[in-house]
Structure 1
Amino acid sequence: MKTELSEVPMGMAKQKHVYDYVIDAHGNWFCEGNPVTDPELFRMLSRSLFEKDGRYYVRCEGEVHPVRVADAPLWVRYVFLDEEPEGKILAVHIQLEDGRREVLRPETLSVKEESALYCLATRRNLLARFAKPAYYELASRLSYEPESRTYVLTVAGHAYRLASRP
């Protein structure tokens, strides 16, 4: 599906061509229907991604192109726990698929249908879905509160209730 110039933000209509970028439900990038397999290009695209008015865009070589996203634009590949000797979690760090590492903000955690885990990542607050290894690592540390029907992650003595995603 091509993006019409009338659907893009101001300034983009002056571009000669608006590329069709897609991130599928598994976090794979496509440009004009072709998979993005070059690791450097993937990192560049992922790191230049931003959201405006509920839609995603990528800034590339001075141009802005829309990105259609099936689920989440970013994916958490790994989770690293800083723990006390008795197992209490002091901090959680995440590594995104593009290699960026940052501290998890547990207050942004959410769960969808008890099978998908999300957080907000990067300074741009983009939605990130936990890939299977990261999901299982963090899910093993969650507790369930039956009375409130919520999952909880305790970090540095503070309990964070995971919001439900529609």
Structure 2
Amino acid sequence: MTNPATSSGLSGVTEAARQAPGRGLPPVHLWHPEHCGDIDILIRADGVWLHEGSPIGRAELVRLFSTVLRKDPDGYHLVTPAEKLRIRVEDLPFRAVTMQTADGVLRFTTDVGDVVEAGADHPIIVETDAATGEPAPRVHVRAHLWARIARPVFYELVDLAETAEGRLWVRSGGAVFPLGDVE
């Protein structure tokens, strides 16, 4: 890295993320530092995190960064108590890559290790692309952060769905979520 401010920013982000106990999350919602600039990190639509155009190959480092990720009105940022660095996200920051069902709850695991139980606080939303008709399912992870539900996982959801009033629905945690129209 050639920019000392960026190097210090990346180091600061890594250090703040490491302070989260276990797999817990740092209290980024309580941190309100000044915006320090942009850092060349991109989360691609397929979930790959890039730094300066190269994939971040260490899953542990991606997990660390994901714990200090926050979405503000002006975009996605990695946030520490002292710094706020904007990053780019092509679609959504996370992917829901597996799903388990138990006791009436759909439990999703993301590509960065978060586990989310769908329900009133973590809804499943399926939007449909008007041009292609393709569904774009997502599940709420935390704060303003969402996970795109991977296609194989969406197929699992459709297999679990009930049909009512010409629509497919799934239930989880006492809530009901529409998946789309029955064709």
Please give the alpha-carbon distance, in whole angstroms, between the structure 2 residues aligned to 1:39 and 1:156. Answer: 30
| CA displacement 1:84-104 (0-9 Å, x = unmatched) | xxxxxx111111111121312
Aligned AA (1:112): E
User: Tell me, which stretches of 5 or more residues in structure 2 are unaligned?
Assistant: 1-31, 129-133
Higher-helix-fraction structure: 2
Greater than 6 Å deviation, 4+ residue runs = none
Find the counterpart in structure 1 of residue 125 from structure 2: 110
SS in 2 for 1:43: helix
CA apart distance, 1:144: 4.7
Find the counterpart in structure 1 of residue 35 from structure 2: 12
Tell me whether 1:46 sits opposite 2:63 in the alignment: no
Report if the CA contact (8 A) 2:95-2:147 is conserved.
yes
Calculate the TM-score normalised by the size of structure 1. 0.72
Report if the CA contact (8 A) 2:158-2:168 is conserved.
no
CA RMSD of aligned residues (A): 2.9
Calculate the TM-score normalised by the size of structure 2. 0.66
Aligned AA (2:45): A
SS in 1 for 2:153: helix
| Equivalent in 93, 96, 99 of residue 73 of structure 1 | 93
CA apart distance, 1:35: 1.1
SS in 1 for 2:106: strand
CA apart distance, 1:125: 3.8
Percent of residue pairs identical: 23
Q: 1:157 to 1:49 in 2, by over 3 A?
A: closer
Please give the alpha-carbon distance, in whole angstroms, between the structure 2 residues aligned to 1:156 and 1:66. Answer: 34
